Amino acid sequence: MANQISVGEPAPGCKKVDPILVAKNVTRQFGGLTAVNVEHLEIPRGQITALIGPNGAGKTTMFNLLTGFDKPNTGEWVFNGHNLAGVPSYKVARLGMIRTFQLTKALSLLTVLDNMRLGDQKNPGESFLASFVRPLWKSHEKKITAKADELLKRFKLDAKREDYAAALSGGQRKLLEMARALMSDPKLVMLDEPMAGVNPALTQSLLEHIKGLKDSGTTVLFVEHDMHMVRHISDWVIVMAEGKVVAEGPPAEVMKNPAVIDAYLGAHANSDLGDVNIDDAKEGI
C-alpha cells in the first residue's frame, strides 16, 4: 500500500520522505545483554510516530540514547541537521528535542507555574550574573508567564497554577510534564508512555493534545503500550523487539504484520492487537 511517509514500501529501517531524525548503527550493551541494536531508523517530520514493542524491547533505552541520557557503544544519529552522537542531554534539549519520562518527573516542590517557566530555554535571568539585575529578565519573565498561562489553560491546569506540583494527581502531572515540554516550542517531542497511569477520563483530552501538537507543526515520537492510542493517533508505527526494529509502517498494516504478533506474546497471537491492551495481556500470564 502506498503512503506519503516512507520512500517505497515500508520495511524495518526504511527511508522517509522527510526525516527529522536519522539514526545509524546505534547499539547499547549492558554487561553481556544487548539492549539496543538498531541498524537504521528514520523518524518522519511533522508526523506522530509510535514506538511499540514488548517489555525489554529497548524502547526506553533507545529514548535515553537519542536524547543523550545514556551513551551508546556504537552509532550516530542526526537530528535536524545536527549530529547528536556524544552531545549531552541538555544540549539535545536546546536543539529542540524535548523528552518526557516514563515515571513522571514533575518538580514536586515547585509550583505548577514555576514548573512551566522552567520549561523556557531563553530566559536571560537563568544566567548567574544576570540574575542579580532584575530589569534584564523582568520583561522576558512576563512574556513566558503569559505563555505558561495560555498552555495551562489549554491543558486545563490553570486552576492549579499556584499549587505545588506535588499536589497534582498522576494524570495531571503527565499533563504538566507535557505542557512544560511545550514551553520551548520544540521541534520534536518524545513522550515515554504518556498514557501510563493516567485516569481514563483524561486520556481523551491527552490524545487531543497530542494531535494538536501535530497540527501546530511539532513532530511527536512516543512509546506506548496502549494499542488503542497507537491505532487512533499515530501516523506511523515502529516496532522494536529484543533491541531491534522488527517492523514499521502505517498502524493498520503494522498491526497485521506477523513479525509484530510474534514479537508480542504467543497467547494473543490470534487476536487483533488493536483490541488488546498489552498491559492486560501481560497481567494474564
Partner 1 sequence: MDWLNILNLTGGELIGAYTAAYVLCALGLAMHFGFTGLLNFGQAAFAALGAYGYAIATLTFGWNMWGSVAFGLICSAAFAVVLGIPTLRLRADYLAIVTIAAAQALRFAFATSAYDKVTGGANGLSQFGEDFYSYNPIPEGRYPLGALDFSEKEIWIRIVGWSLVAIAAVVMLVLTRSPWGRVLKGIREDEDAARALGKNVFAYKIQSLVIGGSIASLGGMLFVMSSQTNQPQTWGTNFTFMIWTVLLLGGAATILGPIVGGMTFFALLMFTQGILEGLVNMGWLPFLDIAQVGQIRFLLVGLVLMLLVIFRPQGIFGNKKELQFNG
Partner 2 sequence: MSQLNIRAGRKAGVFLGLVAMLFAILFAGVPAHAADDPSTYANSIAGTILNDDKEVKDVKITATLDNFSASAVTNEYGEWEIKVPKQGIYTVTLDVSTLPAGVSMTDKGGEVSQADLTQTNFAAVLFSLGKSTVQVQSFSDQLLVRVWSGLNFGLLLAIAAIGISLIFGTTGLNNFAHGEMVTVGALFMWVFYQGLGLNIFVAALGAIVVAAGFGLAQDAGLWKPLRKRRMGLNQMMIVSIGFSIVARYVLLLVFGGDTKDIGGGGNIVQLGPIYTSDIALVSLVICVIVLAGVALFLTRTRIGKATRAVSDNPSLAAATGIDVERIIRIVWIVASALTGLAGVLYGLQFQANWLTGFDILLLLFAAVTLGGLGTALGATVGALIIGMVVEVSSMFIPNELKYAAALVVLIVILIVRPQGVLGKKQRIG
With respect to partner 2, which residue has the nearer C-beta, 101 or 137? 101
Q: Which is nearer to partner 1, 223 or 227 (CB)?
A: 223
For 230, residues 6+ apart whose C-beta sits below 8 A from its C-beta are 50, 52, 224, 237, 251
51 near partner 1, rule: CB under 8 A: no
| CB within 8 Å of 112: residues ≥ 6 apart | 152, 157, 160, 161, 162, 163, 164, 165, 168, 176
Rounded Cα distance between 75 and 285, Å, is 36
Per-residue x/- marks for partner 1, 162-201, CB under 8 A? --x-x----------x--xx--x-----------------
Q: At its nearest, how many Å lie between partner 1 and the CB of residue 130?
A: 8
Q: Which residues, including other chains, have CB under 8 Å from residue 226's CB and lie 6 or more apart?
A: 195, 277, 278, 279
Q: Which does 199 bind (CB under 5 to 8 A by kind): partner 1, partner 2, none?
A: none
150 binds, among partner 2, partner 1, none (CB under 5 to 8 A by kind): none
Among the listed residues 4, 55, 131, 271, the single contact to partner 1 using CB under 8 A: 131
Binding site partner of 131, from partner 1, partner 2, none, Cβ cut-off 5-8 A by kind: partner 1
What Rg value do the Cα atoms of the chain yield, rounded? 19
Binding-site partner at residue 135 among partner 1, partner 2, none, CB < 5 to 8 Å by type? none
Q: How far is the CB of 141 from partner 1 (least distance, A)?
A: 7
Whole-angstrom CA distances from 15 to 9, 18, 70, 84, 208 are 9, 9, 25, 19, 28
* Pairs from 29-33 (Cβ < 8 Å, separation ≥ 24): 29/73
CB 62 within 8 A of CB 38: yes
82 or 91: whose CB is closer to partner 1?
91
C-alpha cell at 243: 533491541
Q: Applying CB under 8 A, which residues contact partner 1?
A: 67, 69, 88-91, 93-94, 98-101, 105-110, 114, 117-119, 121, 123, 125-128, 130-132, 134, 137, 141, 164, 166, 177, 180-181, 184
